[in-house]
């Protein structure tokens, strides 16, 4: 059974000239799968993510997570935002435990887990820092630690590394792969960076714009665990060229 199941999904923004953001989307994501939604800006990839997150409602079609329809955002689907979206008035620690705290869990139920997740993302020494005191990459680490602490089984990531410099981005991609290997959550990763999509995902869905649709499904033939060396392999280069040709047309 798929973890996320999307069938004939449409999203149209009403107005004088209605905008067809998504048209006839079909998508099946297996539990523990890491998929990438790849496409130019305006192709509706973020809209699709927002629908799965429950931030917006589809105009038409079926959207199931764990077999149940999505009507609102919830802790089962953790979102990592483009600009981290941490609460600037809370420390790293307070940001990470925000979820369990508002859900009314007892401290003992989440503290160990929060410590562990901060350790996984390498921020154990920054618990008392405010977000403004961190670099962009560190803020995204907090964003990841916070949904891991939340215990989300689905991670929805909206171009989370897009604003980072190349080196930091690579470190973050490796970190994400590492987290995924350890905890095996289902991940939908939105990006416009072809290299990033190939390096991270098992399956890449290439999307096209106006109206936003899924153009092609590509299975990435790289073994796990992956390393930076994979990005210099022939298989990688060949796949990149294939996708580039797809996007050009």
Partner 1 sequence: MANASLATLRRTLLGMLVPAVVLVIWQLAGSRPDMAGILPTPIKVIDGWRDWIFASPGMGLNPYLGTWVSNVQYSSMRVAQGFFLAALIGVPLGLLIGWSRLVQQIFDPLIQSLRPIPITAWLPFSIALFGIRDMGAIFLIFLGGFYAIVVNTTQGARDVERNLVRAALMMGASRRHLLYRVVLPSAMPSIFTGLRIGLGISWTAVIVSEMVAVKSGLGYVLWDAYYVGRMDIVLADMVSIGIMGYLSDRLIVFIERKVLVWRMLQSH
Place of tokens 């329809």: 69
Stretch that binds partner 1, among 3-11, 77-85, 192-200, 209-217 (CB under 8 A): 77-85
Is 42 a binding residue for partner 1 by CB under 8 A? The answer is no
- Residue from 2, 26, 31, 83 touching partner 1 (CB under 8 A): that is 83
* Angle at alpha carbon of residue 183, lines to 182 and 188, rounded to 5°: 115
**Nearest distance, CB of residue 93 and partner 1, angstroms:** 14
Is 13 a binding residue for partner 1 by CB under 8 A? The answer is no
Q: Where are the alpha helices (DSSP H) in 33-155?
A: 45-53, 92-96, 98-102, 107-120, 136-150
Is 77 a binding residue for partner 1 by CB under 8 A? The answer is yes
Is 153 a binding residue for partner 1 by CB under 8 A? The answer is no
**Nearest distance, CB of residue 74 and partner 1, angstroms:** 7
For residues 144 and 172, give the distance between their C-alpha atoms in angstroms, rounded to a whole number: 10
- Residue from 13, 57, 62, 88 touching partner 1 (CB under 8 A): that is 88
**Nearest distance, CB of residue 161 and partner 1, angstroms:** 16
Instruction: Report phi then psi at 134, rounded to 5.
Output: -105, 160
| Six-digit token string for 214 | 């899924």
- Residue from 19, 32, 42, 55 touching partner 1 (CB under 8 A): that is 55
Element (H, E) at 207: strand 203-208
Beta bridge partners of 38: 191, 206
Is 11 a binding residue for partner 1 by CB under 8 A? The answer is no
CA atoms within 13 A of residue 212's CA, in its CB half-sphere: 24
* Angle at alpha carbon of residue 179, lines to 178 and 180, rounded to 5°: 90
For residues 52 and 209, give the distance between their C-alpha atoms in angstroms, rounded to a whole number: 19
Is 160 a binding residue for partner 1 by CB under 8 A? The answer is no
Is 151 a binding residue for partner 1 by CB under 8 A? The answer is no
**Nearest distance, CB of residue 108 and partner 1, angstroms:** 18
How many other β-carbons are positioned within 10 Å of the β-carbon of residue 11? 23
Contacts of partner 1 in 103-142 (CB under 8 A):
103, 130-133
Is 10 a binding residue for partner 1 by CB under 8 A? The answer is no
Q: Which residues bind partner 1 (CB under 8 A)?
A: 53, 55, 72-75, 77-79, 81, 83, 85-89, 98-99, 102-103, 130-133, 146-147, 150
């Amino acid at each position: 059974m798929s973890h996320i199941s999307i069938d004939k999904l449409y999203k149209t923004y009403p107005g004088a000239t209605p905008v067809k953001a998504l048209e006839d989307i079909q998508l099946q994501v297996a539990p523990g799968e890491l998929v990438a939604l790849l496409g130019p800006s305006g192709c509706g990839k973020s809209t699709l993510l927002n629908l799965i997150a429950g931030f917006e409602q589809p105009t038409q079609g079926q959207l199931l997570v764990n077999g149940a329809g999505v009507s609102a955002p919830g802790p089962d689907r953790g979102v990592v935002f483009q600009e981290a979206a941490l609460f600037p008035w809370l420390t790293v620690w307070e940001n990470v435990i925000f979820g369990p705290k508002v859900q009314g869990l007892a401290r003992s139920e989440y503290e160990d887990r929060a410590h562990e997740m901060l350790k996984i993302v390498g921020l154990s020494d920054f618990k008392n820092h405010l977000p403004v005191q961190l670099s962009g990459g560190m803020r995204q680490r907090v964003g990841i630690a916070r949904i891991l602490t939340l215990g989300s089984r689905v991670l929805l990531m909206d171009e989370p590394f897009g604003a980072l410099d190349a080196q930091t981005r690579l470190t973050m991609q490796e970190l994400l792969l590492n987290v995924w290997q350890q905890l095996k959550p289902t991940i939908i990763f939105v990006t416009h960076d072809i290299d990033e999509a190939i390096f991270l995902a098992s399956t890449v869905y290439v999307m096209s714009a106006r109206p936003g649709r899924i153009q092609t499904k590509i299975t990435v033939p790289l073994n796990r665990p992956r390393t930076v060396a994979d990005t210099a392999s022939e298989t990688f280069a060949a796949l990149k060229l294939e996708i580039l040709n797809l996007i050009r047309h």
